[in-house]
Structure 1
Amino acid sequence: MKGIYHYKYLLVFVLFLSSTFAIGQDVPNISYSGSPKRYEISSIEVVGIQNLDPKMLAKLSGLREGQEIPVPGDEISQAIRKYWDQGLFSDVKIRAKHIEGRKIDLEIYLQERPRLSEMTFTGLKKSEVETVREKVSMMKGSQVTPFLIDKAEKYIKDYFVDKGFYNTEVNIIQKDDPAKANHVLLEINVDKKDKVKVNSLIFEGNEVLTDGKLNKAMKKTNEKGKILNFFRTKKFIAEKYEEDLTAVIDKYNEIGHRDARIVSEEVTRNIEDNTVDVKIKIEEGNKYYFGDISWVGNTIYPSDYLSYKLRIKKGDVFNQKLLGERIMDDEDAVQNEYMDNGYLFSNINPVEISVKGDTIDLEMRVYEGQQASINNVIIRGNTKTHEHVVRREIRTKPGQLFSKSELIRTVRELAQLGHFDPENISPDVQPNQDNGTVDLVYQLEEKANDQIELSGGWGAGMFVGSLGLKFTNFSIRNIFNGEAWRPLPTGDGQTLALRAQTNGKYYQSYSMSFTEPWLGGKKPNSLSLSIYHSIQTGVSSSYYNPSYGYGGYPGYGSSYPGYGGSSDITQHMKITGASVGFGKRLRWPDDWFTLYTEASYQRYDLLDWNYFIMQNGISNNLNFKVVLSRRSIDNPIYTRRGSDFSVGVEFTPPWSMFSDKDWSNQNISDEERYQRIEYHKWTFKGAVFKPIDTAEKLVVMGRMEMGFLGYYNKYLQSPFEKFILGGDGMSGYSMYGSETIGLRGYENSSLTPYNTEGSYDGNIYNKLSLEVRYPLALQPSATVFALGFLEAGNAWSQYEDFNPFELKRSAGVGLRIFLPIFGLMGIDWGYGFDDSPYRQNAGGSQFHFVIGQSF
């Protein structure tokens, strides 16, 4: 019995030694003295913990009941190491609770690391606290470990170093929380110090490239105090500085100086003003040119064809960057020719075979490999959109040869759906060279894209309210399936839009539209249906004056009671219309083209409505529309590249040709003359997008559009379908028989001519726009970008007066916000530089609000 107690005390002593070392340090090697004795574990009990499962912790030790272990021995010390390795405990002890014969009961004591009660910051602004708190990412109730504290300190320092606070100091103080057991308070003290900026940037040894060009190449290291660097960062960050040194050499390589190198570089700290002086000495070396370029290993394509695709000729300035782009990176690069034909495993390696003076001969060594066919196409992340909606847009089908261009096109098509975050559509190419196949995984991230409009306001002595619902991923086939209403039947990619607007008895408008993008489900042929009805009443004919706009339209003019006009409820304009359209994706000239045809009908009911040539009676408009378009943009919300062109014609039957009436007779009433409207209307719109920086954030957009409204009979010129130019482009005149064209920097409709009867008479227009855009946020929850613009345009009554160079100019800035539930919204400030012959003071400083417009 005495021997048993001897071993028991020895075991407790050894185990105590094995668990008494500082928190956060590595577990020390443990050596034992004395002769070990083997025991069978009869029970294991975990004590001391509060928030963790004792059974799971017991298994974590690696010890189990019935196991025979030596005491003292490595099994106990290994178990202790396992607990320390978890980083969750501040104290670990293993005790022999009871020993009887060869049986031993073990008690494992674990002290959990403290948990976080509160985290406070000093030395930071309120806005900085929120950002830093997010980066630290330590939630209340989480365990506080030395690793997390060190990680938090590093994240905070790195964040402020990126902001130019190069000497930031962070001190994290941990205090026990007196109100909660085993909880601590963290006080994070941040001393940002002052920003370290570049006082001077001096280059030596450069003759080929000027200081200005080298300074421009160093995008993140720029001198303070220079006007040219006003919009560039002037802070000194060592990591960015090293990247800029590489950029300088890359700049030389692009102009043929492949031997250029940094001989020395010196950064001198100025303590008094917390700046640095940077001196860089450069050896430019000689300029080289491309020599002979030969091809080896190519059997699929002849050498002449590959040289043509390379687009680099003998005598061109040697440019390593250009060479890489023409081999692999560009959209029409040489290797893409192979990859579009299934040669996924191909490779082209340029080798310098000789350097003669300033000429470099290259041998392009081609490894073609075998063609790869697509094995599996896997779709992930479509939690809402049905899989068949995604698969019908995928151009890489199982069994086909791999094609890089079709892979890129698929990503664009999925982005165009609008159901997924375009920034996070990431195809994963998983090749299997052993069997010549490839699996493609399209990882998607659903985003909310249904939109709701619910607005109301008080103006002109009355309330104006709007309710609009747009469901862009609707499923009409499940409309009678109760289980599919969550809260609506969705997933089939159809669009259903409902909208109502009213301000009581003066104005009401109702519309509904439905679009099926894949009619029949087998081909990308769309079907569109719409119906609408609007009623407008109560504008006195004594008030109207084209110089001030349409007084009777809600929100435009002042003809409502209390604003100088008089209401007359007997006046009205009622429009009822319906349309059906069919769209088809074409294969020629290429499959970016679509052809859209539409038949529509509008019925105008006018009573003393003096805004058109026709003021009383019923007018009918049966028209047909044909639009040929080519759309290749990469992202419908923040477009970086691609183009969008369309040319269309809308026409009515030439009713007057089937009549023997003399329409030049002035005695024919307007109601008879315009009973059936006739016209032909031609439109062209085009936009091109291109990124202008390496990060592909800064994007330039050029746009051009024009329209012409013609007639079959000069005595039957249409009173409707005119072009209304100027302003925000949101006036809604399309519901009133005209088409509104925005031109920022001018008042709404202020650039539109009017005829002797006092009606707007814009029959031809053209418009040019140039925008530069920069994204502020590209997230599924919100897309925000800023823009600057130049615009010019004009409208004319007669074709004889048309002058495409006589344009009204404007410039300004704006902001766009896309929220999935509300759609695109924005505000522009524009300044119109020219006078309008149709309205005084139409230009100058103007603010415009934008809702729902594309581009």
Structure 2
Amino acid sequence: MKIFRIFSTITLILILLLPIYAQSKRNIKILGVAIQGNKTISENSIKIQSGLIDGKEVSYEDFSSAIRRLWKLKLFSDIQIYVDKVTNEGVFLIIKVDEYPRLGKFIVIGNKKIKKDKIDEEVNLLTGKVLSPYLISESKRKIKNLYEKDGYLLVEIKEELKEGKRENTQDLIFNIKENKKVHIKNIEFEGNSKFSDSKLRRIMKETRKRNLFLFRVGEFNKEKYEEDKNKLRAFYRKEGYRDFEILHDSISYSSNSKSMFIKMNVCEGPRYKYRNITFSGNRLYSDKQLLALLNIKSGDWYNAEELQKGVYERINGLYMDQGYLFFQIVPHEIPISDNEIDLNLEITENNQVSINLINIVGNSKTHENVIRRELKIFPGDIFNRDALMRSQREVFILNYFSNVTPDVIPKNEKEVDIEITVEEKSSDRANMSVSISQMHGLIGGGGVEFNNFLG
């Protein structure tokens, strides 16, 4: 309806301006712009945002652009542009808008299981905010997610709008019917013949059916459910079933809405073995050396987890410790028969990289020399990933910093700068992390707490 109205107003402008277009190909001059319907947004602001300003020469396309610009502000429920008057010198325009109301009070009714403070923190609905249909819908979705995380999957939320005390304000009221918490009664699989239902249920550690004898409450969490489905995929691919798929899954409820039933239809596919394993593009190391490091041989069952470790931890680590920071390796899995694959590892070694500068950032209280004397890597050295990680650890165990993050910044094809960012401690908790850059991802890290480290 709104889109139709916008196009109809543009068409109206075009019809009224046709005589001018027929007489001249020049732009049309705006002689005046009147604003109608605005309540809280100033006339001048609407003119500036639309781009339709007194004295400006415009083309037909500028009217469409004006509406798009005003629409993107998400302040108006309707926008219309009319031609008020046409003269030989130009046109007088009217921009008519309907503003969305502003939020007065935000009220929640019926919330017993989740406190209003927690809801407020999640939705962040402040007085004066533009109360658009999108904002209301998003707020309902966020509140529903809060309840679903606590197992209240059947929560119902209805909105109500009432006139606020101030002009163009409305109070937003959410009436919540929490309903009962839903517990998982059963998880059933179809299509599995290699592993039993009970085995697959054990893989899904965060989505467990209710068993009070084993102290399992059987609560359902949508995010953890998706994680468990990924664990299921990883399990099968670790066992050689690289074509495993979850064809579809469904969730149903008991008649009293207290129990949930999960049904998952899977396709296991064949179990694969490696046939031929080859390398291409490697000059620095022989096929035999790389194959030993990969730790996979012909006749082994396919194992996606072991392949990832061999390729991206062991082989990638070998090259990076020798300064080949821009080293790339791409595994190509080629199915040969119903249960065999060939594996080709395509390698691009690129140039060996040396260190240009090492910069220390974030040390406002700690002298730079205190940090530098712990480093195991120096300007002019060939880049070494292991030395960089040891440097990070040595700086971290000084116990002066809550975070120590080395970042490798490419300078050119043969040089890199290293930037070590430290966060000086304000408490006796400490964490550490490591990154190489967006190109190369993490090269180390972890979460560690050292409370009273020397005590």
* TM-score under structure 1 length normalisation: 0.43
Paired with 1:439 and 1:270, the residues of 2 have a C-alpha distance of 61
Paired with 2:306 and 2:322, the residues of 1 have a C-alpha distance of 23
Paired with 1:316 and 1:219, the residues of 2 have a C-alpha distance of 28
Question: Relative to structure 1, is the Cα distance of residues 257 and 31 closer, same or farther in structure 2, using a 3 angstrom cutoff?
Answer: closer
Query: 1:385–1:419: 8 Å Cα contact kept in structure 2?
Result: no
In structure 1, the residue matched to 2:168 is 182
Cα shift at 1:224? 0.7
Paired with 1:426 and 1:146, the residues of 2 have a C-alpha distance of 43
Cα shift at 1:400? 4.5
In structure 1, the residue matched to 2:293 is 309
Cα shift at 1:305? 2.6
In structure 2, the residue matched to 1:370 is 351
Structure 1: which amino acid aligns with 2:237?
Answer: N
1:532-558 per-position Cα deviation (integer Å, ceiling 9, x unaligned): xxxxxxxxxxxxxxxxxxxxxxxxxxx
Matched, 1:223 2:209: yes
Matched, 1:449 2:426: yes
Query: 1:27–1:81: 8 Å Cα contact kept in structure 2?
Result: no
Match runs of 1:788-827 below 5 Å:
none
Structure 2: which amino acid aligns with 1:319?
Answer: N
In structure 2, the residue matched to 1:31 is 11
1:239-289 per-position Cα deviation (integer Å, ceiling 9, x unaligned): 654553443242233233445555776654322343233345666565554
In structure 2, the residue matched to 1:839 is none
Cα shift at 1:146? 2.4
Paired with 2:383 and 2:234, the residues of 1 have a C-alpha distance of 34
Question: Relative to structure 1, is the Cα distance of residues 449 and 266 closer, same or farther in structure 2, using a 3 angstrom cutoff?
Answer: closer
Paired with 2:406 and 2:144, the residues of 1 have a C-alpha distance of 35
In structure 2, the residue matched to 1:326 is 310
Matched, 1:213 2:192: no
In structure 2, the residue matched to 1:147 is 134
Matched, 1:274 2:254: no
Structure 1: which amino acid aligns with 2:346?
Answer: R
Paired with 1:340 and 1:356, the residues of 2 have a C-alpha distance of 38
In structure 2, the residue matched to 1:517 is none
Paired with 1:184 and 1:387, the residues of 2 have a C-alpha distance of 57
The structure in which a higher percent of residues are strand is: 1
In structure 2, the residue matched to 1:295 is 279
Paired with 1:85 and 1:312, the residues of 2 have a C-alpha distance of 55
1:625-668 per-position Cα deviation (integer Å, ceiling 9, x unaligned): xxxxxxxxxxx64699xxxxxxxxxxxxxxxxxxxxxxxxxxxx
Paired with 1:323 and 1:356, the residues of 2 have a C-alpha distance of 20
Structure 2: which amino acid aligns with 1:85?
Answer: K
Cα shift at 1:299? 1.1
Secondary structure of the equivalent of 1:224?
A: coil
Paired with 1:78 and 1:289, the residues of 2 have a C-alpha distance of 60
1:349 maps to which of 330, 339, 349: 330
Question: Relative to structure 1, is the Cα distance of residues 417 and 250 closer, same or farther in structure 2, using a 3 angstrom cutoff?
Answer: same
Match runs of 1:663-678 below 5 Å:
none
In structure 1, the residue matched to 2:386 is 405
Paired with 1:265 and 1:346, the residues of 2 have a C-alpha distance of 40
Question: Relative to structure 1, is the Cα distance of residues 125 and 302 closer, same or farther in structure 2, using a 3 angstrom cutoff?
Answer: same
Paired with 2:315 and 2:39, the residues of 1 have a C-alpha distance of 64
Q: Any gaps of 5 or more consecutive residues in structure 1?
A: 1-20, 452-635, 641-694, 700-782, 784-817, 819-823, 825-851
Matched, 1:58 2:47: yes
In structure 1, the residue matched to 2:115 is 128
Cα shift at 1:185? 1.4
Query: 2:396–2:432: 8 Å Cα contact kept in structure 1?
Result: no
Matched, 1:254 2:238: yes
In structure 1, the residue matched to 2:441 is none
1:335 maps to which of 316, 324, 329: 316
Structure 2: which amino acid aligns with 1:254?
Answer: K
Match runs of 1:446-845 below 5 Å:
446=423, 449=426, 637=430
Paired with 1:163 and 1:283, the residues of 2 have a C-alpha distance of 32
Structure 2: which amino acid aligns with 1:135?
Answer: E
Cα shift at 1:123? 2.2
Question: Relative to structure 1, is the Cα distance of residues 60 and 304 closer, same or farther in structure 2, using a 3 angstrom cutoff?
Answer: same
Q: How many residues align?
A: 434
Matched, 1:173 2:144: no
In structure 2, the residue matched to 1:163 is 150
Question: Relative to structure 1, is the Cα distance of residues 430 and 212 closer, same or farther in structure 2, using a 3 angstrom cutoff?
Answer: farther
Question: Relative to structure 1, is the Cα distance of residues 403 and 121 closer, same or farther in structure 2, using a 3 angstrom cutoff?
Answer: farther
Q: Any gaps of 5 or more consecutive residues in structure 2?
A: 21-26, 434-444
Secondary structure of the equivalent of 1:164?
A: coil
Paired with 1:409 and 1:103, the residues of 2 have a C-alpha distance of 73
Question: Relative to structure 1, is the Cα distance of residues 300 and 89 closer, same or farther in structure 2, using a 3 angstrom cutoff?
Answer: same
Question: Relative to structure 1, is the Cα distance of residues 251 and 96 closer, same or farther in structure 2, using a 3 angstrom cutoff?
Answer: closer
Structure 2: which amino acid aligns with 1:60?
Answer: Q
Matched, 1:388 2:365: no
Bigger shift: residues 49-58 or 274-283: 49-58
Name which structure has the greater RCO, CA cutoff 8 Å, separation 6+: 2
Question: Relative to structure 1, is the Cα distance of residues 317 and 93 closer, same or farther in structure 2, using a 3 angstrom cutoff?
Answer: closer
| Percentage of matched positions with identical amino acids | 29
Paired with 1:639 and 1:83, the residues of 2 have a C-alpha distance of 46
Paired with 1:277 and 1:234, the residues of 2 have a C-alpha distance of 11
Structure 1: which amino acid aligns with 2:258?
Answer: N
Secondary structure of the equivalent of 1:173?
A: strand
In structure 2, the residue matched to 1:802 is none
Question: Relative to structure 1, is the Cα distance of residues 197 and 51 closer, same or farther in structure 2, using a 3 angstrom cutoff?
Answer: same
Matched, 1:201 2:194: no
Secondary structure of the equivalent of 2:167?
A: coil
Paired with 1:113 and 1:173, the residues of 2 have a C-alpha distance of 15
Secondary structure of the equivalent of 1:271?
A: coil
Q: What root-mean-square deviation, in Å, do the aligned CA atoms of Structure 1 and Structure 2 show? A: 4.5
